[in-house]
Chains A and B, each alone.
Chain A
Amino acid sequence: MRKLALLATIIVATAFAPTGYNVGDKAMDFKLKNIDCKMVSLADFKDAKGFIVVFTCNHCPFAKAYEDRIIGLNTKYASKGYPVIAINPNDPVAVPEDNFETMQSRAKAKNYAFPYLVDATQEITKTYGATKTPHVFVLQKSGNDYIVKYIGAIDDNSDDPSAVKEKYVENAVDALLAGKPVPVTSTKAFGCGIKWKS
């Protein structure tokens, strides 16, 4: 009987454990609204070899600190087949600064050359397992599948781009482009916790 109770506890614990992708998992495609009000899917990018999916937002100081570096990633890698796909996961009711209009004005002011999508239901964010902004998932296209190759931080220094020693995302994409294994497949970093709908 005690064993049964233990088993039940384990099942319950598993059911409520945070979900999300691990490196090596197949990532799902999505259809989310872009700042130009058009819907965007990974499948739209026929020539892409993969994607740099970045969960980010307007308000978070870490997201702001990384904004230019996110733009830089797209400039460097979109032409090589790894465009940036930015997704704002935050509930605009909880954080008004993360609303659609502010996303539009932010993207316009900084000339985003990549999609900046809204995950209005937060389902994609939960499925991917993003917990904070910015939070990066590097995907590699393999046939019709998108394989998660890297999860984590953009680099090792949010405060000071000039003091960065490890460019985790660049190293991952460079390795994928060279057909080599990704040197560091997951990292941890600080960010603003995602503001979930209540």
Chain B
Amino acid sequence: MRAYKKAVIASLFLPFLAIQKPVGVVTFEQLQAEASIKQNDTLYVVNFWATWCDPCVHEIPYFQNVYSKLSGKKVKMIFVSLNAVRELPKVQQFADNKSLKSEVLVLNGGNPNNWIDKVDSSWTGSIPATVLYKHGKKLYFHEGELTEESLTSIIQTKNK
């Protein structure tokens, strides 16, 4: 009971102690529930990346800049890391170092063949890749890097 109480108290303070939101681990179904099938008017920008992927790391600041300019708008950005689950601490460290304000998740997707096509049938499996969802519908898919300008214009065009 005492341990339980301690845990409750600790969890109450945890959000204030943590600098960054802790990086979570999700299954593909959980990711779908989080973004792609949500029936609301928030625009979900889902970016697939990994800490070892140079072009991904390169474009993340662009995504951050675009996100900060969109503050107040109904936009949610989710960085979905394809690092191995055991590399969670590495992903957390990256998120802390870069002060990522958006949600960061590590995907525990299992066999990629079971879900790559569910994201987009044209996706060959290279990263970065970016998907936009709204009202439970996919608005856009892109395999490859994006610039700050292109991301801004895609969001403006698609988020009507």
Contacts and interface: CB of A to CB of B under 8 A. Distances in A.
B52 A193 contact: no
Most buried by B among A157, A158, A193: A193
Contact of A61 (B52, B117, B125): B52
A192 interface: yes
Given A61-B52, A165-B111, A190 B127 contact: yes
A193 B84 contact: no
A193 B113 contact: no
A132 B126 contact: yes
Q: How large is the interface on B (under 10, 10 to 19, 20 to 34, 35 or more residues)?
A: 20 to 34
Contacts of B112: 153, 156, 188-190
Contact of A132 (B85, B113, B125): B125
Interface of A: 60-61, 131-132, 153, 156-159, 165-166, 187-194
Contacts of A189: 112-113, 116, 125
A193 B142 CA distance: 14
A188 B53 contact: no
Q: Is the interface of A mostly helix, strand, loop or mixed?
A: loop
B97 interface: no
A165 B113 CA distance: 12
B141 to A, nearest CB: 14
B124 interface: yes
A193 B111 contact: no
B89 interface: no
B69 interface: no
B126 A188 contact: no
Contacts of B126: 131-132, 190-194
A166 B111 CA distance: 9
